[in-house]
């Protein structure tokens, strides 16, 4: 299906299904309510076929380019039917699962994720290593019948809701750095896994610590070959900075417009509004280009770090404006509307950290795009 036909047909269907798709909660809702809403929307859109466009037939999709996936997330976000961060986890994890998992495993698991029957998490970051994946220490050792995994992950989004985890483990020596990493697809109900949610400053337990105590993982859950985990990570991370960021841009566009509608007269500086709008459109232009490169089948790489740096800049700029235009609501306002502005303002402070810190992104740009050498 061509994008124009998809867009027109989807918009008509979303209008028809407005009541069925509407959240059951007011405002932003709790994380439990957001997850329930996400599950409902994914199930309805998958069963109607919309969620399947842009995914390979061999994993339950209907084929075609990735552009319908980008527009579906944009449309759902623009209508405030899903929270973009948790919706886009499928865009981050499923493509790499398709690339590196055994075909039978991908064909079984990916439809469950797309339909909302399952939630997956990404076990990459560790205490003391952050975004520096080459120094991770969560270890997997070979045993009779499979891997045994011991270690800890942190900042693992939605682990408390997840049935599976795409997990990076150390299978080589510590000195092997990026060469000694292996990726596994782990059942989160396996004995020995403990999930401990972390409440962040915006009051939401989105992240978790995850502890692995001699957890058994079958060999057929290895993604790619042993020692190929760095390639898995390098394949996945550009997806984290492509379609999911397009969805977040749609969310920021909606929230900027809502701010302009709600801010009292003379509370916003026209020059700052203009600059923020220019930044937002510049980011959307950049992200649009990335979507079309992805749709043409081009490999995404370190250049997507530019997208992430731009996204972090514009997210904080939008909510800096919220601090100017809705200062009272932000600081002391009651009710779901004020609470939502406040929560989202606090979350925006993390935009330069989540999905790979701004420092890491700039190092990638400097070393891999500009050939400026190591920073050490």
Buried b (16+ CB within 10 A) or exposed e, 240-258: bbbbbbbbbbbbbbebbeb
Mean per-residue pLDDT, 66-79: 96
> Dihedrals φ, ψ of 216, to 5°?
-85, 130
Whether the predicted pLDDT of 186 surpasses 90: yes
357-363 mean pLDDT = 90
CA 365 to chain centre: 21
| pLDDT above 90: percentage of residues in the chain | 83
What pLDDT does residue 131 have?
63
Kindly report, residue by residue over 364-373, the tens digit of the pLDDT: 999 999 999 8
Does residue 149 register a pLDDT over 90? yes
Q: What's the pLDDT score for residue 298?
A: 92
Q: pLDDT band at residue 276, thresholds of 50, 70 and 90?
A: very high
* 237: number of Cβ within 10 Å: 25
**Which pLDDT score is estimated for 240?**
84
Q: Give the confidence band of 222 by pLDDT, cuts at 50, 70, 90.
A: very high
Look at residue 175 in the predicted model and tell me its pLDDT.
Answer: 77
Q: How confident is the model at residue 159 (pLDDT cuts 50, 70, 90)?
A: very high
pLDDT tops 90 at residue 177 = no
Token code pair at residue 342: 């406040």
Rounded mean pLDDT, 28-42: 96
Catalytic residues: 240
Centroid of chain to Cα 92: 6
**Region for residue 297 given its phi and psi (left: phi exceeds 0; alpha: psi -120 to 50; beta: otherwise):** left
For a pLDDT cut of 70, what percent of the chain falls above it? 99
pLDDT value, residue 266: 92
Q: What is the pLDDT of residue 299?
A: 87
Band (pLDDT 50/70/90 cuts) for residue 375 is low
The confidence score (pLDDT) of residue 106 equals 97
- pLDDT 10s digits, 93-113: 999 999 999 999 999 999 999
Instruction: Report pLDDT digits (tens) over 189-219.
Output: 999 999 999 998 888 898 999 999 999 999 9
Query: Mean pLDDT for the chain?
Result: 94
The pLDDT, as a whole number, for residue 307 is: 94
Q: Coil, strand, or helix at residue 245?
A: helix
Question: DSSP state, 61?
Answer: -
pLDDT above 80: residue 133: no
What span, in angstroms and rounded, lies between the C-alpha atoms of 341 and 262? 11
Look at residue 255 in the predicted model and tell me its pLDDT: 97
What mean pLDDT is predicted for residues 117-130?
Answer: 90
Q: How far apart are CA 344 and CA 338, in angstroms?
A: 10
Nearest to 236 by CA among 156, 158, 299, 288: 299
pTM attached to this predicted model? 0.92
Please list, in sequence order, all residues whose beta carbon lies within 8 angstroms of the beta carbon of residue 25, skipping any fewer than 6 positions away. 33, 37
Half-sphere exposure of 242 (CA within 13 A, CB side): 27
d(CA 274, CA 278): 6
């Amino acid at each position: 299906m061509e994008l124009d036909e998809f867009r027109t047909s989807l918009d008509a269907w979303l209008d028809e299904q407005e009541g069925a798709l509407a959240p059951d909660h007011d405002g932003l809702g709790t994380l439990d309510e957001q997850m329930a809403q996400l599950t409902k929307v994914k199930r309805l859109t998958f069963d109607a076929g919309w969620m399947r466009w842009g995914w390979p037939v061999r994993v339950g999709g209907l084929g075609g380019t990735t552009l319908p996936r980008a527009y579906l997330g944009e449309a759902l976000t623009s209508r405030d039917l899903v929270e973009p961060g948790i919706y886009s986890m499928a865009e981050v994890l499923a493509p790499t699962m398709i690339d590196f998992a055994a075909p039978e495993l991908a064909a079984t698991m990916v439809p469950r994720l797309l339909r909302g029957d399952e939630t997956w998490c990404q076990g990459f970051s560790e205490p003391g290593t952050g975004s520096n994946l080459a120094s991770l220490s969560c270890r997997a050792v070979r045993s009779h019948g499979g891997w045994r995994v011991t270690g800890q992950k942190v900042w693992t989004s939605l682990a408390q809701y997840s049935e599976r985890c795409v997990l990076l483990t150390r299978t080589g020596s510590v000195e092997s750095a990026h060469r000694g990493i292996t990726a596994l697809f782990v059942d989160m109900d396996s004995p020995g896994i403990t999930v401990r949610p972390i409440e962040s400053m915006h009051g939401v337990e989105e992240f978790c610590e995850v502890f692995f105590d001699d957890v058994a993982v079958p060999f057929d859950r290895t993604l790619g070959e042993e020692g190929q985990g760095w390639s898995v990570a390098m394949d996945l991370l550009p997806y984290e900075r492509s379609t999911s960021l397009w969805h977040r841009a749609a969310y920021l566009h909606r929230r900027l417009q809502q701010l302009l509608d709600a801010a009292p007269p003379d509370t916003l500086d026209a020059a700052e509004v203009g600059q923020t709008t220019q930044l937002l459109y510049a980011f959307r232009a950049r992200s649009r280009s990335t979507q079309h490169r992805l749709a043409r089948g081009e490999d995404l790489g370190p250049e997507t770090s530019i997208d992430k740096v731009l996204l972090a800049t514009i997210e904080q700029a939008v909510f800096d404006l919220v601090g100017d235009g809705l200062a009272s609501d932000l600081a002391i306002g009651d009710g779901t509307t004020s609470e939502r502005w406040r929560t989202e303002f606090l979350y925006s402070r993390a935009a330069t950290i989540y999905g790979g810190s701004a420092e890491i992104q700039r190092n990638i740009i400097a070393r891999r795009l500009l050939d400026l050498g190591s920073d050490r």
